[in-house]
Amino acid sequence: MAVVLNPLVKWAQDRNQVYLTVELSDVVVNSLQIQEKTLKFEGCGNGAQGENIYKLDVTFREDILPKLCKHRISDRCVTITLKKKDSKYWERLLADDIKPGWLKIDFDRWRGEDDSEDERQQEEITRISVEHRNKQMESQLQDHVREAEEEVKELVIKGYLSIYNSIQGIAFFYITFAVLIKLLLNGADAVPRIYDDVSDLLATCQIAAFIEPINAAFKLVHTGVFAPLAQCIGRFIALFLVITPHEELQKSVLVVVLFLAWSLIENVRYPFYLLQTVGYCPKWLLWLRYTAWIPLYPLGLITE
């Protein structure tokens, strides 16, 4: 169905007549039908939507005298003068309570009408102008409030994610550093003691990691829920249900390899998330994020 284009129409009135100005330049009027309660207009000209066919089909609030109505076509517009059946001021032009967007008040012409009604007309114009200005200000204020709320919300989310990723990143860097230093200084003799040295911190980090699927569920991050949840559950089972209850496993070299695999993965992942949150991520870290998992994830899965 073709969209009906309405031209911009300005209106004014005095006690006896209504003045309509159809804002179409270089217009060719195809039809103009005026009845006691209605006006139908169709014309081709340049309006708000460029050169097009524009139509009007309106119902007036009060009756008019069609035979005494007249119109004039100029290069810039079509002027229509409607004779009121009853000599009085109309509360509004149209029968419909809702004012359409294409209808505007012709303030210049309104001010130039009957001198005896100047004061009343000026009050009406002032009231309408104030209401229009207030609505515009209210709309702009609401837009600013919404924008401010969105900015504050985004800032709070970024701050929260930055703090979380920073804490997790620092913790896993410490775990990696502690494991590697003990292995370098003590060699194989350090293996039985590594679990006791880093397991508490690692357990805390793994419990805290359950925040990540919650973040995804609340759309705080652009990722799915299943992947981080599956990883958290897998590590939880390995650490708390398999390794922790069995002391003989705690002294195994496989536990050391597993802890290193987990930590090295997070040494890349959390800094990547942190820098991505603040809007800056170097290419080398991006490459490392999507490359390091190739050897580390299979290593972690095998040792798990």
Q: Walk across the sheet containing 25-34 and list its strands.
A: 25-34, 38-47, 50-59
Annotated catalytic residue within 36, 131, 138, 297: 297
Annotated catalytic residue within 42, 113, 117, 304: 304
198 touches 256 (CB < 8 A): no
Active site residue 51: no
Q: How far is CA 66 from CA 35, 110, 157, 241, in A?
A: 6, 22, 65, 91
- Phi/psi for 220 (5° steps) reads -80, -20
The pairing of beta strand 78-83 with beta strand 17-22: antiparallel
Q: Which amino acid is at 264?
A: L
Active site residue 304: yes
CB-based contacts of 223, cutoff 8 Å, min separation 6 = 216
Angle between helices 226-236 and 191-208 (to 10 degrees): 140
What residues form DSSP beta bridges with 29? 43
Which secondary structure element, helix H or strand E, spans residue 43, and what is its range? strand 38-47
74 touches 27 (CB < 8 A): no
In 3D, which of 151, 286, 158 has the Cα closest to residue 220? 158
Q: Which residues form the catalytic set?
A: 297, 304
